[in-house]
Structure 1
Amino acid sequence: MRIIIGMTGASGVQYGIRLLEALEGNEETHLVLSQEARELVELETDLNVNAFLEKATFHYEDDDFLAPIASGSYRWDAMVIVPCTMKTLAGIANGYADTLIGRAADVTLKESRRLILVPREMPLNLIHLENMVKLKQAGAVIMPACPGFYNNPKTIDDLVDNVVGRILDQLGIDNEVYRRWGEKEKKQGVLPSTSHKIR
């Protein structure tokens, strides 16, 4: 699969980082970080931003409107914005594509491709909710970063993996990143039931 990952300036860059790690080497990834996301990677983690960018198959600046993902004639399967700020969400909901992330999301919707938005904000005001409804009606998947606790998480990584595993499910990618409801323990490795696998 060819997947675009956009990361914007909401707290919770760990979700985007883990998603890219899960896809690395198995799917073609196109990564875009907003300036604020770059700052949060260094604030919330011990990662070097430039080293992180190199984990993607391709990466672009958020103001690069000459990037292939700015055009619908360039084919991709899905786009995930994780984390997704309310500003980014509002821009997409109202067709205001002033960044490459916003433009690629706009193209994803207009070409009827899979768009997954992972907002990490609370509480939500009426404007936030109305923008989410508008995007859902336009075909986007809205997945607030709300990890489950039924798997008895022991670490922050367990909570992150729960959200990332659910994102992978929405992408149609077979995975065992997290323990599913009804399973006694998380399985190791992957199930060979589809052509899309992650480590």
Structure 2
Amino acid sequence: MSEQGRTINLAITGASGAQYGLRLLECLVAAGCSINVMVSRAAQVVIATETDLKLPGTPPAMQAVLSEWAGAESGQVLVFGREDWFAPPASGSGEKAPLIVCPCSTGTLSALATGASNNLIERAGDVALKERRQLILVPREAPYSEVHLENMLKLTRMGAVIVPASPGFYHKPESIQDLVDFVVARLLDHLEIPQTLMPRWGEARSQKKRET
């Protein structure tokens, strides 16, 4: 099923787990979504460290690289700079699109929990909270300190959904990609975007019962 015309705001910050954000971008493109992408400076370093993808420093060049990498159509992926205050996610007057921060660094958690708006990602999170829009945060840290836990609790009470990058194993993963897809499938489910990465709990049994 195509999600043609639906817009998703995707922020990638500097926590380990760049593969989750990149795989999510790839799946959103395949679903036909339009994606507004924001990448922190730390995320650029992490992406270069954890993957073979090297992102250039300017938004137009980064947009070209990510679009080609994800197989996007022209204009499907838009990349906005860290201080682009005229970007759609920066204002409540912009399109009412969900925001997902994947992965979400603990620094970003802190900024969102305290209402900081020092860059576009933080401002986009602030807008999502004040406008009561869907906000999904994907932290990847271990262990969590009391500060991290308090920030996650505070954000949950504000309406955000915390989805830690903690893959399960009941699907019997055979590769790292299977573990990445487990988390990305859950994110797509929360966004209500059809996905075939992972069967939902009980689907196989229900299908079997229908066939008998």
Aligned-pair identity in percent equals 46
Bigger Cα displacement from structure 2, 12-21 vs 33-42: 33-42
Equivalent residue number for residue 194 of structure 1: none
Tell me which residue corresponds to 1:40.
Answer: 46
Q: CA deviation at 1:179?
A: 3.2
CA distance in structure 2 between the partners assigned to 1:149 and 1:30 by the alignment: 32
Q: In structure 1, which of residues 130, 149, 156 is the aligned counterpart of residue 150 of structure 2?
A: 130
1:155 to 175, 183, 197: 175
Q: 2:124 aligns with which of 92, 101, 104?
A: 104
Q: Structure 2 stretches of 5 or more lacking a match?
A: 1-5, 56-61, 71-75, 206-212
1:32 deviates by 0.4
1:184, CA displacement in angstroms? 5.4
Q: Are the equivalent residues in 2 in contact too, given 1:162–1:179 (CA < 8 A)?
A: no
Mapped partners of 1:171, 1:41: distance in 2: 24
- Give the corresponding residue for 2:8: 3
Match of 1:171 among 171, 187, 191: 191
CA-CA distance at 1:125 after TM superposition: 1.0
Alignment of 1:27-106 (within 5 A): 27-49=33-55, 50=62, 51-52=65-66, 55=70, 57-106=77-126
* Cα distance in 2, alignment partners of residues 65 and 57 from structure 1: 18
SS in structure 1 opposite 2:94?
A: coil
* Aligned partner letter, 2:106: M
1:24 to 11, 21, 29: 29
Q: Which protein is bigger by CA-based radius of gyration? A: 2
Instruction: Give the letter aligned to residue 146 of structure 2.
Output: L
Distance 1:91 1:53 in 2: 29
- More moved, 35-44 vs 79-88: 35-44
Are 1:145 and 2:150 counterparts?
no
What one-letter code is carried by the residue in structure 1 that aligns with 2:148? H
Letter in 1 for 2:194: D
**Deviations along 1:56-93, whole A, 9 cap, x unmatched?**
52111122222222111011320000000001000000
Count of residue pairs the alignment pairs up: 185
Stretch deviating more after TM superposition (64-73 or 81-90): 64-73
More off after superposition, 39-48 vs 102-111: 39-48
SS in 2 for 1:32: strand
SS at match of 2:108: helix
In the TM superposition, residue 182 of structure 1 has moved relative to its aligned partner by 3.5
| Distance in 2 of aligned mates of 1:108 and 1:57 | 20
TM-score of the superposition, structure 2-length normalised?
Answer: 0.83
CA distance in 1, matches of 2:175, 2:15: 21
Does the aligned pair in 2 maintain the 1:151–1:181 contact within 8 Å? no
Higher helix share: 2
1:52 Cα deviation after fit: 1.9
